[in-house]
């Protein structure tokens, strides 16, 4: 620890060395001879360890007393969120296997990390709260079994990278017949074709995009309570997909949103609420959030949006120039993908600003006519 105190001179406490050294080493094993060791990255993985512990604690607290794991999941009773998380677990298991077989240890770590942190914790566990509180007894039992199944599999998936924490949590899990006495002896998760719910996962991710749109707008306009969102859908197919997930979308939109409604293709433009900020999800789906009450000076807000739009235009031009440079096609696939995503993000932001400006301009014109 003295060595740690000497070398870790930033604001990060030296006790961070208690974080999982194996996951750090694995994350930095990219094939080179040198390791650019960053204590702040170690601190981030330390926070991940805490996330694993807290998420596991939450799942165990939601299992009823005397809970008995089912020998097999009842696939016929699964909700869309359950199908999605099982599909993502399946894909993560496949990805980790492929990466380990190719000796791409950094990639395998990232796949396991992203599944547990971004998908299990940030999405499914959050969604499970409403499923457990508002669902029928049968739905609640199904969610409990799914939470257990995914946590059990996650401990086995993460074990090579987090040996001590996963063993401790595994020992606290309810046991079913045939379970190994230690996670070290338990079978490693593999791809299971029975859990390949690609279609359901695609539908659920559409709902996730809608929830992300509502959250983004609520953050932009500082809406912390009583927010009302609308999802304008132009086709019957998308209306059915979004409508069936409305409760999940509301849950994942954040505590500041009190209601989310679907506006189907039969709703004309004149019936769409005025004074809404706009987030474009796709050519068929647009998210709206009522923000008129949050705007004190409409002219200033329009001016602010126009400034953002101009900056976004500049960013798009620069990004297009970067992608069009000679030799760009020779950079790694990772860099190309990241830079192309930046361009798509800028273009999406531009469309959002333009659509919101249209809505605010209508509000401005309506106000001027009222005064006249």
Mean pLDDT by runs of 10 across the 372 residues of the chain is 42 45 53 63 82 96 94 94 98 96 89 95 96 94 97 96 93 92 96 95 95 93 91 91 94 93 85 84 88 81 86 91 87 82 86 82 54 42
Q: What local confidence, expressed as pLDDT, does residue 31 receive?
A: 55
Task: Say what the pTM is.
Answer: 0.81
Q: What local confidence, expressed as pLDDT, does residue 29 receive?
A: 57
Closest listed residue to residue 151, CA positions, set 68, 52, 71, 248: 52
For residues 321 and 317, what is the distance between their CA atoms, to the nearest angstrom? 6
Determine if residue 316 is left, alpha or beta; phi over 0 gives left, psi from -120 to 50 gives alpha, anything else beta: alpha
**Do residues 213 and 272 lie in contact, with contact meaning Cβ atoms separated by under 8 Å?**
no
Token pair 């599944």 is found at: 115
- Structure-token pair, residue 278: 């706009």
Instruction: Indicate the length of the chain as a whole number.
Output: 372
Q: What local confidence, expressed as pLDDT, does residue 28 receive?
A: 59
For residues 33 and 38, what is the distance between their CA atoms, to the nearest angstrom? 16
């Amino acid at each position: 620890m003295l060595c740690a105190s000497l070398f870790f001179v930033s604001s990060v406490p030296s006790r961070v060395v208690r974080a999982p050294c194996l996951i750090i080493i694995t994350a930095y094993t990219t094939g080179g001879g040198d390791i650019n060791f960053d204590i702040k990255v170690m601190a981030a993985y330390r926070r991940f360890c805490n996330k694993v512990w807290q998420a596991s604690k939450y799942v165990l607290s939601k299992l009823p007393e005397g809970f008995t794991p089912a020998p097999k999941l009842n696939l016929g009773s699964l909700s869309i969120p359950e199908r999605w998380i099982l599909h993502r677990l399946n894909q993560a298991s496949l990805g980790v296997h492929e990466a380990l077989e190719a000796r791409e240890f950094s990639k395998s770590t990232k796949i396991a990390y992203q599944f547990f942190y971004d998908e299990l914790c940030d999405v499914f566990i959050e969604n499970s709260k409403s499923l457990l509180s508002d669902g029928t007894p049968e739905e609640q039992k199904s969610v409990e079994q799914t939470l257990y199944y995914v946590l059990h599999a996650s401990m086995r998936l993460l074990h090579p990278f987090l040996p001590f924490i996963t063993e401790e949590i595994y020992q606290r899990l309810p046991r079913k017949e045939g379970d190994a006495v230690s996670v070290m002896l338990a079978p490693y998760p593999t791809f299971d074709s029975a859990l390949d719910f690609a279609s359901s996962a695609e539908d659920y991710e559409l709902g996730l995009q809608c929830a992300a749109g509502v959250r983004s707008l609520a953050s932009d306009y500082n809406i912390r309570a009583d927010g009302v969102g609308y999802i304008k859908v132009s086709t019957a197919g998308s209306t059915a997909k979004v409508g069936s997930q409305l409760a999940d979308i509301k849950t994942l939109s954040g505590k500041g949103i009190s209601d989310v409604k679907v506006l189907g293709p039969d709703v004309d433009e004149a019936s769409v609420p005025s004074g809404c900020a706009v987030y474009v999800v796709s050519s068929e789906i647009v998210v709206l959030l009522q923000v008129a009450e949050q705007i004190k000076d409409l002219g200033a807000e329009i001016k602010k949006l126009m400034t953002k739009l101009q900056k976004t235009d500049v960013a798009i031009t620069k990004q297009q120039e970067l992608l069009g440079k000679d030799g760009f096609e020779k950079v790694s696939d990772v860099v190309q993908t990241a830079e192309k995503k930046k361009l798509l993000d800028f273009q999406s932001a531009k469309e959002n600003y333009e659509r919101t400006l249209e809505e605010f301009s209508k509000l401005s014109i309506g106000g001027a006519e009222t005064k006249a």
